[in-house]
């Protein structure tokens, strides 16, 4: 069968509506969720959890603040709660309320010297809602039908795993200064490997689905450094915590690398791979007694089946 001709013309465009501020929300949301989850585990085990809990809440709050700075009408931010029926953005906002409620309360009770079980319970609830928050964030991107690189369903596991990995990476850093449990580096390493698998899976998904060449290029561009530095080197450094627990700085750096790699990937996904699908037509019109031709997708590197 003759190959269908490609369209050229208005090329798929990099979206300009969301910039680094929006990316920061995904960064803060993911990292914060990871930290909250770690805090919940630590709290349940009776280990140091408060710094992780506080940091996690801060990350999420910072992310949301950045969004507030991005939207055109920040004074109307409350309107974000109006559409829980279908909007993942509303749901993200709704989930954030109990998240901050439980998390904040846990911190307050903890600092006030309240009962540890209550604190652990509230931290656990905060972590649970944070997972919901992170899931909502992942679905926000998935629901953006204008951006093929976000539509790919394997993006959700990547965002979930990356969020947790980033949080545990930071946790490894906190552990180095005694503000988190010592198992943090190994947990981070484990999650990092999980994320790597999710990343590879995302890449495969993009190839299979077909996305604009510019999207693919953006993802592929960060691939080697993301793999070698963000995971390989980070894993090596984190692994030092087993034979040489005294060299905490190394595992801290490994944890931070792991986190930074996730942030870089998200910034890339939100700002560089976020290319529109382009405007195209499936076939050309018949002008007078001319002929119509079937048309391929515009400037997409791979073609959907």
- Could you give the angle at the alpha carbon of 181 between the alpha carbons of 177 and 186, nearest 5°? 100
Q: Which of 199, 46, 202, 61 is nearest to 126 (CA)?
A: 61
Q: How far apart are CA 270 and CA 88, in angstroms?
A: 16
- Of 101, 190, 295, 302, the one binding another protein (CB under 8 A) is 295
67 binds another protein (CB under 8 A): yes
Task: Give the count of beta carbons closer than 10 Å to the beta carbon of residue 295.
Answer: 15
* Residues 162 and 266: beta-carbon distance below 8 Å: yes
* Closer Cβ to another protein, 3 or 246, answer by number: 3
- Of 111, 225, 282, 303, the one binding another protein (CB under 8 A) is 282
* Closer Cβ to another protein, 115 or 146, answer by number: 146
Long-range Cβ contacts of 144-147 (<8 Å, 24+ apart): 146/15, 146/276, 146/277, 147/15, 147/274, 147/275, 147/276, 147/277
252 binds another protein (CB under 8 A): no
Q: How far apart are CA 214 and CA 284, in angstroms?
A: 25
Q: Which of 253, 262, 249, 269 is nearest to 34 (CA)?
A: 262
**Tokens read off for 79:** 């309107």
Site stretch for another protein (CB under 8 A), options 6-14, 35-43, 48-56, 100-108: 6-14
112 binds another protein (CB under 8 A): no
| Residues contacting another protein: total by CB under 8 A | 57
**Tokens read off for 268:** 């890339």
* Closer Cβ to another protein, 208 or 242, answer by number: 208
Q: How far apart are CA 118 and CA 106, in angstroms?
A: 8
Least gap, CB of 6 to another protein (angstroms): 7
* Closer Cβ to another protein, 228 or 294, answer by number: 294
* Residues 148 and 277: beta-carbon distance below 8 Å: yes
14 binds another protein (CB under 8 A): no
Q: Where are the alpha helices (DSSP H) in 13-72?
A: 20-44, 50-70
Least gap, CB of 156 to another protein (angstroms): 16
Least gap, CB of 286 to another protein (angstroms): 4
Site stretch for another protein (CB under 8 A), options 65-73, 99-107, 108-116, 236-244: 65-73
- Of 88, 133, 226, 263, the one binding another protein (CB under 8 A) is 88
* Closer Cβ to another protein, 47 or 284, answer by number: 284
Site stretch for another protein (CB under 8 A), options 73-81, 177-185, 209-217, 235-243: 73-81
Binding site residues, another protein, CB under 8 A: 5-10, 13, 15, 17-18, 67, 70-74, 76-77, 79-83, 86-90, 93, 140, 143-147, 150, 274, 276-277, 279-293, 295, 298, 304
């Amino acid at each position: 069968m003759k190959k269908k001709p490609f369209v050229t013309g208005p090329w798929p465009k990099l979206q300009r509506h969301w910039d680094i501020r929006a990316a920061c929300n995904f960064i803060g949301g993911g990292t914060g969720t990871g930290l909250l989850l770690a805090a919940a585990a630590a709290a349940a085990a009776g280990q140091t959890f408060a710094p992780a809990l506080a940091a996690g809440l801060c990350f999420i709050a910072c992310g949301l603040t950045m969004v507030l700075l991005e939207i055109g009408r920040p004074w109307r931010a409350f309107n974000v709660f109006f559409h829980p029926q279908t909007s993942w953005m509303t749901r993200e906002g709704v989930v954030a309320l109990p998240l901050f409620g439980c998390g904040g309360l846990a911190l307050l009770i903890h600092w006030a010297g309240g009962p540890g079980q209550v604190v652990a319970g509230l931290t656990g609830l905060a972590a649970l809602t944070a997972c919901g928050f992170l899931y909502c964030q992942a679905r926000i991107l998935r629901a953006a039908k204008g951006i093929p690189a976000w539509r790919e369903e394997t993006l959700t596991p990547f965002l979930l795993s990356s969020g947790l990995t980033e949080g545990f990476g930071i946790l490894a850093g906190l552990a180095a200064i005694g503000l988190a449990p010592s198992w943090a580096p190994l947990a981070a390493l484990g999650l990092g490997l999980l994320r790597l698998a999710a990343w590879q899976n995302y890449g495969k998904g993009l190839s299979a689905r077909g996305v604009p060449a510019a999207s693919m290029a953006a993802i592929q561009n960060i691939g080697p450094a993301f793999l070698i530095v963000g995971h390989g080197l980070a894993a090596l450094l984190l692994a030092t915590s087993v034979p040489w627990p005294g060299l905490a700085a190394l595992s801290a750096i490994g944890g931070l690398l792991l986190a930074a790699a996730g942030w870089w990937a998200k910034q890339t996904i939100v700002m560089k791979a976020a290319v529109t699908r382009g405007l195209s037509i499936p076939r050309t019109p018949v002008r007078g007694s001319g002929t119509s031709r079937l048309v391929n997708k515009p400037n997409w590197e791979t073609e959907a089946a």
